[in-house]
Structure 1
Amino acid sequence: MLKGIGALLIIISSSLLGILISSKYSIRPKEIRKLRFSLQMLETEIVYGSTPIPYACYNVGCKSDKPWKDFFMRVSENLLKRKFFSLEEAWNDAIVNSLKNSYLTSADKELLRNFGRVIGKSDTEDQKKHFKLIYAQLEHHEKIAEDEKARNEKMYKSMGFLLGAAILIILV
Protein backbone atom coordinates (compact mmCIF):
# COMPACT_ATOMS: atom_id res chain seq x y z
CA MET A 1 0.00 0.00 0.00
CA LEU A 2 2.76 2.46 0.99
CA LYS A 3 4.80 1.53 -2.10
CA GLY A 4 1.76 2.16 -4.28
CA ILE A 5 1.22 5.64 -2.82
CA GLY A 6 4.94 6.43 -3.24
CA ALA A 7 4.87 5.23 -6.86
CA LEU A 8 1.79 7.33 -7.56
CA LEU A 9 3.45 10.41 -6.03
CA ILE A 10 6.56 9.92 -8.19
CA ILE A 11 4.49 9.62 -11.37
CA ILE A 12 2.28 12.60 -10.48
CA SER A 13 5.19 14.87 -9.49
CA SER A 14 7.23 14.11 -12.59
CA SER A 15 4.16 14.55 -14.80
CA LEU A 16 3.48 17.93 -13.18
CA LEU A 17 7.09 18.89 -13.77
CA GLY A 18 6.67 18.06 -17.46
CA ILE A 19 3.47 20.12 -17.60
CA LEU A 20 5.20 23.04 -15.90
CA ILE A 21 8.08 23.01 -18.37
CA SER A 22 5.73 22.67 -21.34
CA SER A 23 3.60 25.60 -20.17
CA LYS A 24 6.25 28.11 -21.23
CA TYR A 25 5.66 27.06 -24.82
CA SER A 26 1.97 27.91 -24.58
CA ILE A 27 2.47 31.20 -22.69
CA ARG A 28 4.93 32.81 -25.15
CA PRO A 29 2.48 33.02 -28.12
CA LYS A 30 -0.12 34.55 -25.80
CA GLU A 31 2.36 37.18 -24.60
CA ILE A 32 3.25 38.08 -28.18
CA ARG A 33 -0.45 38.34 -29.07
CA LYS A 34 -1.03 40.61 -26.07
CA LEU A 35 1.95 42.75 -27.11
CA ARG A 36 0.50 43.17 -30.59
CA PHE A 37 -2.84 44.21 -29.10
CA SER A 38 -1.14 46.68 -26.73
CA LEU A 39 0.88 48.17 -29.59
CA GLN A 40 -2.32 48.62 -31.59
CA MET A 41 -3.73 50.62 -28.67
CA LEU A 42 -0.49 52.61 -28.54
CA GLU A 43 -0.72 53.32 -32.25
CA THR A 44 -4.28 54.57 -31.81
CA GLU A 45 -3.21 56.84 -28.95
CA ILE A 46 -0.17 58.26 -30.75
CA VAL A 47 -1.21 58.40 -34.41
CA TYR A 48 -4.94 59.02 -34.23
CA GLY A 49 -5.32 60.61 -30.79
CA SER A 50 -2.14 62.71 -30.94
CA THR A 51 -1.52 61.82 -27.31
CA PRO A 52 2.02 62.53 -26.03
CA ILE A 53 3.96 59.29 -25.61
CA PRO A 54 4.21 59.31 -21.78
CA TYR A 55 0.43 59.64 -21.47
CA ALA A 56 -0.19 57.23 -24.34
CA CYS A 57 1.94 54.61 -22.59
CA TYR A 58 0.06 55.24 -19.35
CA ASN A 59 -3.31 54.80 -21.08
CA VAL A 60 -2.15 51.61 -22.77
CA GLY A 61 -0.74 50.31 -19.49
CA CYS A 62 -4.10 50.84 -17.80
CA LYS A 63 -5.83 48.73 -20.47
CA SER A 64 -3.22 45.99 -20.95
CA ASP A 65 -2.67 42.64 -19.26
CA LYS A 66 0.53 41.51 -17.55
CA PRO A 67 3.43 41.73 -18.41
CA TRP A 68 2.56 44.59 -20.78
CA LYS A 69 0.75 46.57 -18.12
CA ASP A 70 3.95 46.75 -16.06
CA PHE A 71 6.01 47.48 -19.17
CA PHE A 72 3.98 50.44 -20.43
CA MET A 73 3.45 51.83 -16.93
CA ARG A 74 7.22 51.75 -16.38
CA VAL A 75 7.88 53.53 -19.69
CA SER A 76 5.33 56.17 -18.73
CA GLU A 77 6.77 56.57 -15.23
CA ASN A 78 10.32 56.82 -16.59
CA LEU A 79 9.29 59.58 -18.99
CA LEU A 80 7.02 61.52 -16.64
CA LYS A 81 9.55 61.52 -13.80
CA ARG A 82 12.35 62.30 -16.27
CA LYS A 83 14.51 59.42 -15.14
CA PHE A 84 16.04 59.16 -18.61
CA PHE A 85 16.95 61.62 -21.34
CA SER A 86 15.22 59.81 -24.19
CA LEU A 87 12.30 57.54 -24.93
CA GLU A 88 14.72 54.88 -26.12
CA GLU A 89 16.46 54.76 -22.72
CA ALA A 90 13.14 54.63 -20.85
CA TRP A 91 11.91 51.91 -23.24
CA ASN A 92 15.06 49.80 -22.75
CA ASP A 93 14.86 50.18 -18.98
CA ALA A 94 11.28 48.88 -19.09
CA ILE A 95 12.37 45.91 -21.22
CA VAL A 96 15.11 45.00 -18.76
CA ASN A 97 13.13 45.51 -15.56
CA SER A 98 9.52 44.72 -16.48
CA LEU A 99 10.03 41.72 -18.71
CA LYS A 100 12.39 39.70 -16.48
CA ASN A 101 9.78 37.08 -15.72
CA SER A 102 8.18 36.95 -19.14
CA TYR A 103 8.55 34.01 -21.49
CA LEU A 104 9.81 36.14 -24.38
CA THR A 105 13.02 35.10 -26.07
CA SER A 106 15.98 37.41 -26.54
CA ALA A 107 14.94 37.79 -30.20
CA ASP A 108 11.51 39.01 -29.10
CA LYS A 109 13.07 41.51 -26.71
CA GLU A 110 15.50 42.68 -29.40
CA LEU A 111 12.58 43.30 -31.76
CA LEU A 112 10.91 45.37 -29.06
CA ARG A 113 14.19 47.20 -28.37
CA ASN A 114 14.52 48.08 -32.07
CA PHE A 115 10.98 49.42 -32.09
CA GLY A 116 11.84 51.62 -29.10
CA ARG A 117 14.62 53.21 -31.15
CA VAL A 118 12.26 54.54 -33.82
CA ILE A 119 9.03 55.30 -32.00
CA GLY A 120 8.26 58.97 -31.54
CA LYS A 121 11.05 60.20 -33.80
CA SER A 122 9.08 61.00 -36.95
CA ASP A 123 5.77 62.20 -38.33
CA THR A 124 2.51 60.25 -38.10
CA GLU A 125 2.76 58.69 -41.55
CA ASP A 126 6.20 57.32 -40.76
CA GLN A 127 4.97 56.11 -37.37
CA LYS A 128 2.18 54.19 -39.12
CA LYS A 129 4.85 52.46 -41.22
CA HIS A 130 6.86 51.54 -38.13
CA PHE A 131 3.78 50.12 -36.43
CA LYS A 132 2.86 48.16 -39.56
CA LEU A 133 6.39 46.73 -39.70
CA ILE A 134 6.40 45.62 -36.08
CA TYR A 135 2.99 43.99 -36.50
CA ALA A 136 4.36 41.91 -39.36
CA GLN A 137 7.47 41.00 -37.37
CA LEU A 138 5.40 40.08 -34.30
CA GLU A 139 3.15 37.94 -36.48
CA HIS A 140 6.25 36.09 -37.67
CA HIS A 141 7.51 35.64 -34.08
CA GLU A 142 4.07 34.44 -33.02
CA LYS A 143 4.05 31.87 -35.82
CA ILE A 144 7.48 30.63 -34.72
CA ALA A 145 6.26 30.43 -31.11
CA GLU A 146 3.18 28.45 -32.20
CA ASP A 147 5.42 26.04 -34.14
CA GLU A 148 7.65 25.57 -31.07
CA LYS A 149 4.56 25.01 -28.98
CA ALA A 150 3.28 22.34 -31.35
CA ARG A 151 6.68 20.61 -31.38
CA ASN A 152 7.67 20.81 -27.74
CA GLU A 153 4.59 21.00 -25.54
CA LYS A 154 3.47 17.41 -26.01
CA MET A 155 7.05 16.15 -25.86
CA TYR A 156 7.72 17.69 -22.41
CA LYS A 157 4.44 16.42 -21.01
CA SER A 158 5.27 12.91 -22.21
CA MET A 159 8.85 13.15 -20.99
CA GLY A 160 7.65 14.12 -17.51
CA PHE A 161 5.49 11.03 -17.28
CA LEU A 162 8.18 8.79 -18.76
CA LEU A 163 10.80 10.18 -16.37
CA GLY A 164 8.54 9.27 -13.46
CA ALA A 165 8.04 5.79 -14.89
CA ALA A 166 11.82 5.38 -15.33
CA ILE A 167 12.49 6.48 -11.74
CA LEU A 168 9.83 4.06 -10.57
CA ILE A 169 11.38 1.19 -12.53
CA ILE A 170 14.82 1.96 -11.12
CA LEU A 171 13.52 2.09 -7.56
CA VAL A 172 11.53 -1.14 -7.85
Structure 2
Amino acid sequence: MLKMLGAALVILAATLVGWLKARQFASRPNQIRGLILALKRLETEIMYGFTPLPDALQRIANQNKEPIRSLFTVAAGHMNPPNNWTAQDSLQHAVESQWGFTSMKKPEKDIMNQLSYTLGTSDRQDQIGHIVTAIRQLESEEVAARDEQSRYEKMCKSLGLLSGAFVVILFY
Protein backbone atom coordinates (compact mmCIF):
# COMPACT_ATOMS: atom_id res chain seq x y z
CA MET A 1 0.00 0.00 0.00
CA LEU A 2 2.82 2.40 0.86
CA LYS A 3 4.57 1.57 -2.42
CA MET A 4 1.41 2.41 -4.36
CA LEU A 5 1.09 5.74 -2.58
CA GLY A 6 4.74 6.55 -3.29
CA ALA A 7 4.34 5.58 -6.94
CA ALA A 8 1.26 7.78 -7.26
CA LEU A 9 3.11 10.71 -5.67
CA VAL A 10 6.09 10.29 -8.01
CA ILE A 11 3.81 10.20 -11.06
CA LEU A 12 1.83 13.18 -9.78
CA ALA A 13 4.98 15.23 -9.10
CA ALA A 14 6.48 14.47 -12.50
CA THR A 15 3.19 15.28 -14.21
CA LEU A 16 2.96 18.61 -12.39
CA VAL A 17 6.50 19.49 -13.45
CA GLY A 18 5.55 18.74 -17.06
CA TRP A 19 2.41 20.87 -16.78
CA LEU A 20 4.37 23.78 -15.25
CA LYS A 21 6.90 23.68 -18.07
CA ALA A 22 4.05 23.54 -20.59
CA ARG A 23 2.48 26.58 -18.93
CA GLN A 24 5.72 28.50 -19.44
CA PHE A 25 5.58 27.70 -23.14
CA ALA A 26 1.96 28.87 -23.20
CA SER A 27 2.46 32.10 -21.24
CA ARG A 28 5.55 33.35 -23.07
CA PRO A 29 3.72 34.46 -26.26
CA ASN A 30 1.00 36.10 -24.17
CA GLN A 31 3.54 38.03 -22.13
CA ILE A 32 5.36 39.14 -25.26
CA ARG A 33 2.02 40.34 -26.66
CA GLY A 34 1.41 42.25 -23.41
CA LEU A 35 4.84 43.85 -23.65
CA ILE A 36 4.16 44.85 -27.27
CA LEU A 37 0.87 46.47 -26.28
CA ALA A 38 2.58 48.26 -23.39
CA LEU A 39 5.23 49.66 -25.74
CA LYS A 40 2.51 50.79 -28.16
CA ARG A 41 0.88 52.65 -25.27
CA LEU A 42 4.25 54.19 -24.43
CA GLU A 43 4.58 55.27 -28.04
CA THR A 44 1.17 56.94 -27.83
CA GLU A 45 2.02 58.63 -24.53
CA ILE A 46 5.24 60.04 -25.97
CA MET A 47 3.75 61.06 -29.31
CA TYR A 48 0.40 62.53 -28.30
CA GLY A 49 0.27 62.77 -24.53
CA PHE A 50 3.38 64.88 -23.96
CA THR A 51 3.56 63.01 -20.64
CA PRO A 52 6.82 62.98 -18.68
CA LEU A 53 8.45 59.57 -18.99
CA PRO A 54 8.08 58.49 -15.32
CA ASP A 55 4.37 59.32 -15.41
CA ALA A 56 3.92 57.56 -18.74
CA LEU A 57 5.64 54.44 -17.44
CA GLN A 58 3.45 54.46 -14.32
CA ARG A 59 0.29 54.86 -16.41
CA ILE A 60 1.33 51.93 -18.57
CA ALA A 61 2.05 49.87 -15.47
CA ASN A 62 -1.42 50.60 -14.12
CA GLN A 63 -2.99 49.41 -17.39
CA ASN A 64 -1.19 46.05 -17.43
CA LYS A 65 -1.26 42.79 -15.52
CA GLU A 66 1.66 41.12 -13.80
CA PRO A 67 4.52 40.57 -14.66
CA ILE A 68 4.49 43.46 -17.17
CA ARG A 69 3.06 45.77 -14.50
CA SER A 70 5.97 45.31 -12.12
CA LEU A 71 8.49 45.87 -14.91
CA PHE A 72 7.11 49.34 -15.65
CA THR A 73 6.35 50.15 -12.00
CA VAL A 74 9.95 49.55 -10.97
CA ALA A 75 11.23 51.58 -13.94
CA ALA A 76 8.93 54.50 -13.12
CA GLY A 77 9.70 54.31 -9.41
CA HIS A 78 13.44 54.69 -9.89
CA MET A 79 13.02 57.70 -12.18
CA ASN A 80 11.14 59.61 -9.48
CA PRO A 81 12.65 61.17 -6.34
CA PRO A 82 14.58 60.23 -4.24
CA ASN A 83 16.43 58.08 -6.81
CA ASN A 84 16.13 60.32 -9.91
CA TRP A 85 17.77 57.70 -12.11
CA THR A 86 18.01 58.13 -15.85
CA ALA A 87 15.53 56.28 -18.05
CA GLN A 88 18.31 53.95 -19.18
CA ASP A 89 19.41 53.04 -15.65
CA SER A 90 15.91 52.62 -14.30
CA LEU A 91 14.66 50.49 -17.21
CA GLN A 92 17.77 48.31 -17.15
CA HIS A 93 17.41 47.83 -13.39
CA ALA A 94 13.72 46.97 -13.81
CA VAL A 95 14.53 44.44 -16.51
CA GLU A 96 17.29 42.85 -14.44
CA SER A 97 15.28 42.67 -11.24
CA GLN A 98 11.88 41.68 -12.66
CA TRP A 99 12.76 39.47 -15.65
CA GLY A 100 12.95 36.32 -13.55
CA PHE A 101 9.23 36.64 -12.81
CA THR A 102 8.34 36.43 -16.49
CA SER A 103 8.28 33.51 -18.90
CA MET A 104 10.14 35.54 -21.49
CA LYS A 105 13.63 34.62 -22.60
CA LYS A 106 16.92 36.34 -23.36
CA PRO A 107 16.01 37.72 -26.82
CA GLU A 108 13.14 39.75 -25.36
CA LYS A 109 15.35 40.89 -22.50
CA ASP A 110 18.00 42.02 -24.98
CA ILE A 111 15.40 44.00 -26.93
CA MET A 112 14.27 45.79 -23.76
CA ASN A 113 17.86 46.52 -22.72
CA GLN A 114 18.57 47.86 -26.20
CA LEU A 115 15.51 50.10 -25.97
CA SER A 116 16.66 51.42 -22.61
CA TYR A 117 19.80 52.91 -24.18
CA THR A 118 17.75 55.30 -26.30
CA LEU A 119 14.70 55.96 -24.14
CA GLY A 120 14.68 59.48 -22.78
CA THR A 121 17.92 60.53 -24.48
CA SER A 122 16.64 61.98 -27.76
CA ASP A 123 13.73 63.84 -29.30
CA ARG A 124 10.23 62.40 -29.65
CA GLN A 125 10.57 61.21 -33.23
CA ASP A 126 13.79 59.34 -32.51
CA GLN A 127 12.29 57.69 -29.44
CA ILE A 128 9.19 56.70 -31.40
CA GLY A 129 11.44 55.14 -34.05
CA HIS A 130 13.29 53.09 -31.45
CA ILE A 131 10.05 51.96 -29.81
CA VAL A 132 8.64 50.92 -33.20
CA THR A 133 11.82 48.96 -33.91
CA ALA A 134 11.55 47.22 -30.53
CA ILE A 135 7.90 46.41 -31.24
CA ARG A 136 8.80 44.86 -34.60
CA GLN A 137 11.54 42.78 -33.01
CA LEU A 138 9.19 41.63 -30.25
CA GLU A 139 6.55 40.70 -32.83
CA SER A 140 9.03 38.41 -34.56
CA GLU A 141 9.93 36.89 -31.18
CA GLU A 142 6.23 36.37 -30.52
CA VAL A 143 5.90 34.39 -33.75
CA ALA A 144 8.85 32.23 -32.70
CA ALA A 145 7.37 31.78 -29.21
CA ARG A 146 4.02 30.68 -30.67
CA ASP A 147 5.86 28.19 -32.86
CA GLU A 148 7.72 26.85 -29.80
CA GLN A 149 4.45 26.65 -27.91
CA SER A 150 2.75 24.59 -30.59
CA ARG A 151 5.77 22.34 -30.85
CA TYR A 152 6.65 21.75 -27.20
CA GLU A 153 3.60 22.37 -25.01
CA LYS A 154 1.93 18.98 -25.53
CA MET A 155 5.28 17.25 -25.46
CA CYS A 156 6.10 18.63 -22.00
CA LYS A 157 2.76 17.50 -20.60
CA SER A 158 3.22 13.99 -21.97
CA LEU A 159 6.88 13.83 -21.02
CA GLY A 160 6.09 14.72 -17.42
CA LEU A 161 3.64 11.86 -17.07
CA LEU A 162 5.85 9.41 -18.93
CA SER A 163 8.97 10.29 -16.96
CA GLY A 164 7.05 9.77 -13.72
CA ALA A 165 5.88 6.39 -14.92
CA PHE A 166 9.43 5.53 -15.98
CA VAL A 167 10.82 6.37 -12.54
CA VAL A 168 8.13 4.23 -10.89
CA ILE A 169 8.98 1.34 -13.20
CA LEU A 170 12.66 1.71 -12.37
CA PHE A 171 11.96 1.52 -8.63
CA TYR A 172 9.83 -1.60 -8.92
TM-score, normalising length from structure 2?
0.90
Give the % identical residues: 32
The aligned residue for residue 124 of structure 2 is: 124
1:24 aligns with 2:24: yes
Q: What are the superposed Cα offsets for residues 93-119 of structure 1, whole Å, 9 maximum, x if unpaired? A: 111112222122122111100011112
**Cα distance in 2 between the residues matched to 1:55 and 1:32:** 22
Query: Distance between the aligned counterparts of 1:8 and 1:85, measured in 2?
Result: 53
Offset, 1:4: 4.5
Is the 1:29–1:142 contact (alpha carbons within 8 Å) kept by the matching residues of 2? Answer: yes
- The answer on whether the counterparts of 1:18 and 1:161 sit within 8 Å (CA) in structure 2 is yes
Confirm whether residue 56 of structure 1 aligns to residue 68 of structure 2: no
- 1:30-88: CA deviations, max 9, x gaps? 11111011111111111110101011111111111111211111111111125254211
Shift of 1:9: 3.3
**Structure 1 equivalent of residue 13 of structure 2:** 13
- For residues 86-105 of structure 1, what are the structure 2 equivalents within 5 Å? 86-105=86-105
SS at match of 2:100: coil
SS in 1 for 2:149: helix
Alpha-carbon distance in structure 1 between the residues aligned to 2:80 and 2:3: 62
Q: How does 1:143-154 map to 2 (within 5 A)?
A: 143-154=143-154
Counterpart amino acid of residue 150 in structure 1: S
Conservation of the 8 A alpha-carbon contact between 1:79 and 1:87? yes
TM-score w.r.t. the length of structure 1 is 0.90
What CA distance in whole angstroms lies between the structure 2 residues aligned with 1:164 and 1:77?
45
Deviation beyond 6 Å, 4+ runs, structure 1: none
RMSD (Å), alpha carbons = 1.8
